[in-house]
Amino acid sequence: MEKRGISKLDLKRRNRMQILRIIRECGPISRVDVASTLEITRAAVTIITNEMIEEGILVEIGEAPVNTEKLQKGRRKILIDINVNSRFALGAVVDEKEVTVGLTNLDSEVLDKSSMEIDDRTTSKDIIAYIIKAVNTMIENSALTKDKILGLGIGIVPSMWGKLKIFYKDGELDFTSFIEKLSAGIDVDIKCGNAVGLMALASNDFKTQNSYQTNTAFLHNGNQLNLAIVNKNELSSDYIYYTSMIEKYIVAPNGKEYEGYPKGSARAEISKNAMISAFAEILSQDKTPVLWEITKGDKKNINTENVFNAIMRGEESVKAVLDDIIGKYAVLINNIAISHFAKKIVLHNYKLNEKQFDYVKREIIRLTNEDIADRVVLSKLDGKNNFLGGCALMIQNGFYNKGGLILK
């Protein structure tokens, strides 16, 4: 009878993974508290962490603060933490308008970055050539040895999969051809994924709050609406590939139609094109003279900034359209918060400044309540830093999932 069990290497990797996870979620922590949290012996934790310190993955950062209400006897606890400069990650994200590439440490501190604007005329060869050139330049400039670089993580938004010849195979995205073309010019490990989910991971706060990990919903606004859910600090499997299903959510019962979608769907009512169309329908020199002046009467100039400028100058008809759109977003946000138990809803690529965001939140409060509105935040990724999504993929898969081990 064949005997099966976990190998010594797998056991070692699993133990190290658990320790790294605890430190990532709790911050600097003592070996004693690690052992207590993981319910393994202090001796085992000491052996494992000492080895990781020798490898430079962990560092001792000094004694734990004194608790004056409960004085400790004997030796003070020594805190250990992750050495964020022990490994580095390259990342790239391809969206409809831009390719961003960057280099970070394990704490996502940006060490180098570059970007290239793209449009319908940009070919897949142009995108691949730019990523290869940018990555090799960053490696050369950083003077990092190969063992210090985890690899290159690349995120691609769903609307760009066709251009880069990325299709589903057996229910999963097949990046093989894309990776092969990049590997011809880049000598590091390359991993790819749906940019929406990866940017959600990059936006996630891995720290626990009162020993509770909050669910985060990440709503990306591009040529498509896309949603990713981070549940217990991991990307929900339902949102690894099929992030654009959010477009089928109904936000206005019996509302506008879009082929292949139910009436009043998010696609028909609040997608980027739908929102622009809503303002374009009222754009005229007679009905909206302020917006007409700002946009020079050209529908192509309708954008967030120009819409809010018209409202600030008292254009009530423009305000009415915007408030209607926000109302439908309030329905979507409320449904996401309830259906996914989301304690944080991150809005990405909405191009809102602080004053504009306050306006949106006031409307959400009016239509729902303060609790729901307080969960809504703007993404910390500002477009030029979207590559952090690719770095997040490499840091998760190449470091945390391997327990900091260098595994081929």
Condensed to tens digits (0 to 9), the pLDDT of residues 171-181 reads 889 999 999 99
Q: Are residues 275 and 350 in the same domain?
A: yes
Give me the chain's average pLDDT, please.
Answer: 92
**Rounded Cα distance, 91 and 100, in Å:** 8
In a domain, 231, yes or no: no
pLDDT digits (tens, 9 = 90+) for 217-260: 999 999 999 999 999 889 998 888 899 999 999 999 999 999 99
Neighbour tally for 243: CB within 10 Å? 25
Neighbour tally for 177: CB within 10 Å? 12
Q: Are residues 191 and 131 in the same domain?
A: yes
Residue 383 pLDDT: 86
In a domain, 241, yes or no: no
Please state the rounded mean pLDDT for residues 119-134: 97
Q: Is the pLDDT of residue 84 over 50?
A: yes
Q: Are residues 104 and 163 in the same domain?
A: yes
AA letter at 266? A
The confidence band for 11, taking pLDDT boundaries of 50, 70 and 90, is confident
Residue 382 pLDDT: 86
* Axis crossing angle, helix 124-142 with helix 176-183, rounded to the nearest 10: 50
Please state the rounded mean pLDDT for residues 6-27: 90
Q: Name the DSSP class of 111.
A: E
In the chain, % of residues over pLDDT 70: 94
Q: Is the pLDDT of residue 75 over 70?
A: no
Q: Is the pLDDT of residue 298 over 90?
A: yes
Q: Looking at 25, 59, 82, which one is the last position of a domain?
A: 82
What domain range includes position 180? Answer: 88-202+386-402
Please state the rounded mean pLDDT for residues 190-195: 97
Q: Is the pLDDT of residue 72 over 80?
A: no
Residue 66 pLDDT: 61
Q: Is the pLDDT of residue 210 over 60?
A: no
Q: Are residues 153 and 194 in the same domain?
A: yes
Q: Is the pLDDT of residue 404 over 90?
A: yes
Residue 68 pLDDT: 47
In a domain, 233, yes or no: no
Q: Is the pLDDT of residue 5 over 90?
A: no
In a domain, 210, yes or no: no
Element (H, E) at 34: helix 31-38
Q: Are residues 178 and 277 in the same domain?
A: no
Please state the rounded mean pLDDT for residues 256-284: 96
In which residue are the tokens 């690529």 written?
A: 349
Neighbour tally for 305: CB within 10 Å? 13
In a domain, 365, yes or no: yes
The confidence band for 212, taking pLDDT boundaries of 50, 70 and 90, is low
The confidence band for 296, taking pLDDT boundaries of 50, 70 and 90, is very high
Sign of CA dihedral 169, 175, 176, 181: positive
The confidence band for 407, taking pLDDT boundaries of 50, 70 and 90, is low
Q: Are residues 51 and 29 in the same domain?
A: yes
Q: Are residues 56 and 92 in the same domain?
A: no
Q: What are phi and psi of 190, to 5 degrees?
A: -125, 130
Query: Which residues make Cβ contacts (< 8 Å) with residue 148, sequence separation at least 6?
Result: 86, 87, 88
Residue 118 pLDDT: 97
pTM of the model: 0.92
- Could you tell me the CATH number of the domain that includes residue 194? 3.30.420.40
Residue 406 pLDDT: 80
Q: Are residues 265 and 366 in the same domain?
A: yes
Q: Specify the higher pLDDT residue, 107 or 239.
A: 107
Q: Looking at 67, 82, 97, which one is the last position of a domain?
A: 82
Q: Are residues 186 and 279 in the same domain?
A: no
In a domain, 69, yes or no: yes
Element (H, E) at 307: helix 304-312
The C-alpha angle with vertex 222 and arms to 219 and 224, in degrees rounded to 5, equals 85
In the chain, % of residues over pLDDT 90: 84
Please state the rounded mean pLDDT for residues 320-336: 97
Residue 48 pLDDT: 95
Residue 59 pLDDT: 97
Contact 333, 372 (CB under 8 A): yes
In a domain, 267, yes or no: yes
Query: Which residues make Cβ contacts (< 8 Å) with residue 244, sequence separation at least 6?
Result: 158, 224, 225, 226
The confidence band for 211, taking pLDDT boundaries of 50, 70 and 90, is low
Q: Specify the higher pLDDT residue, 12 or 105.
A: 105
Q: Are residues 277 and 178 in the same domain?
A: no
Residue 239 pLDDT: 83
Q: Name the DSSP class of 126.
A: H
253-254-255-256 Cα dihedral, nearest 10 degrees: 140
Please state the rounded mean pLDDT for residues 79-99: 97
Q: Are residues 36 and 107 in the same domain?
A: no
How many structural domains comprise the chain? 3
In a domain, 207, yes or no: no
**Rounded Cα distance, 189 and 152, in Å:** 6
**Rounded Cα distance, 256 and 265, in Å:** 7
Contact 93, 114 (CB under 8 A): no
* In 97-224, beta strands by DSSP E: 98-105, 110-117, 149-156, 167-169, 172-174, 190-194, 215-221
Q: Are residues 256 and 369 in the same domain?
A: yes
In which residue are the tokens 């929102």 written?
A: 275
